[in-house]
Amino acid sequence: MKTVKLNNFEIGGDKLTIFGGPCVIETEDIVFQTAEKLKEVTEKLGINYVFKASYDKANRSSLGSYRGLGLDKGLELLAKVKEEFELPIVTDIHLPEEAEAVGEVADVIQIPAFLCRQTDILVAAAKTGRIVNIKKGQFLAPAQIKGLAQKVEATGNDKILITERGTTFGYNNLVTDMRSIKIIQDLGYPVVFDATHSVQLPGAEGDHSGGERQFVPLLARSAVAAGAKALFFEIHPNPEEAMCDADNMIPLDEAEDIFKICNKIFTLINNEE
């Protein structure tokens, strides 16, 4: 399995990588507070860190749900985070025409799970030259990710990550098959495990999704034990007050304990290899 270079570290190498931050940009204060704390924690633990927040969440359950600051204001704030804290940035796009502007700020362009088969979005993201993180759709078997990655590779961009985030299991539920981590990595791509969206209950609350955050640490530990090279967490200072994904985000003050245990497992597994 190859690694993907980002700044001064490699995703898929001998250090755990964490993608983490609020689901969507709400305020500058929340974004800065989260970035500062998570940088402090990951540096203390010797973990690679990439800040995550969305400027727009176009795939909300209802029309009236909060979506974010929008492209221009959102990217402006993400650029400030990047400069102020010297952190790489990951954020998602929902339209091909967003890719170029996002590529000017983000180090990793993320393709949402519901859009992972959309050729034009994959190609537009790939042409920026940035790392492309494809979130595996809840409707796909892990081996099917190969065809999606090939769309990116066809542009000459081989900087590809694949994120596992669970599979549809009946109505309003997801289940994670840890075998998928090995299946995808055997295809040659580092796997990121999305520990918070994997406990989401899509549309379970009618006008918004539910979630079971109590299972986040369990799934994160299991994914690292299964060989995942990176973990993705949505994290908020006060999840209960969050304007998006409140039920599955983890509290900022609990992040260090979760990261610490996952890093110990990662180190053990990596040393065995």
Looking at per-residue confidence, does 244 or 162 come out higher?
162
3-state secondary structure of 101: helix
> Measured between alpha carbons, how far is 169 from 175 in angstroms, rounded to an integer?
6
Cβ–Cβ < 8 Å for 152, 134: yes
Greatest pairwise CA separation for the chain in angstroms: 50
pLDDT at 68: 79
What average pLDDT does the chain have?
93
Contacts of 157 (CB under 8 A, 6+ apart): 126, 127, 129, 132
Render pLDDT for 157-192 as a digit per residue (tens, 0 to 9).
999 999 999 999 989 889 999 999 999 999 999 999
Assigned domain for 160 exists: yes
Find the CATH number of the domain harbouring 265.
3.20.20.70
Q: Identify any residues that bridge with 24 across adjacent strands, giving them in sequence order.
A: 54
Cβ–Cβ < 8 Å for 91, 106: yes
Assigned domain for 201 exists: yes
Question: How many Cβ atoms are within 10 Å of 8's Cβ, its own excluded?
Answer: 7
**Predicted confidence (pLDDT) at residue 206 exceeds the cutoff of 60:** no
Assigned domain for 109 exists: yes
pLDDT at 245: 81
Render pLDDT for 101-154 as a digit per residue (tens, 0 to 9).
999 999 999 999 999 999 999 999 999 999 999 999 999 999 999 999 999 999
Assigned domain for 1 exists: no
Domain coverage including residue 218: 13-272
- Nearest CA to 12 out of 153, 185, 129 is that of 185
Assigned domain for 6 exists: no
Cβ–Cβ < 8 Å for 139, 168: yes
Return the minimum-mean-pLDDT range out of 35-44, 69-78, 206-215, 224-233: 206-215
pLDDT at 221: 98
Assigned domain for 162 exists: yes
> Measured between alpha carbons, how far is 263 from 247 in angstroms, rounded to an integer?
24
3-state secondary structure of 57: coil
Render pLDDT for 7-58 as a digit per residue (tens, 0 to 9).
999 999 999 999 999 999 999 999 999 999 999 999 999 999 999 999 998 7
**Predicted confidence (pLDDT) at residue 202 exceeds the cutoff of 80:** no
pLDDT at 97: 98
Per the structure, how many domains does the chain have? 1
Assigned domain for 69 exists: yes
Computed over its alpha carbons, how large is the radius of gyration of the chain?
Answer: 17
DSSP for residue 8: T
Tokens 């899509």 locate to 202
Q: Does the pTM of the predicted model rise above 0.75?
A: yes
Backbone angles phi, psi at 77, to 5 degrees: -70, -40
**Mean pLDDT computed over 220-237:** 97
Assigned domain for 219 exists: yes
**Predicted confidence (pLDDT) at residue 64 exceeds the cutoff of 80:** no
Q: Identify any residues that bridge with 250 across adjacent strands, giving them in sequence order.
A: 235
> Measured between alpha carbons, how far is 129 from 2 in angstroms, rounded to an integer?
17
pLDDT at 273: 47
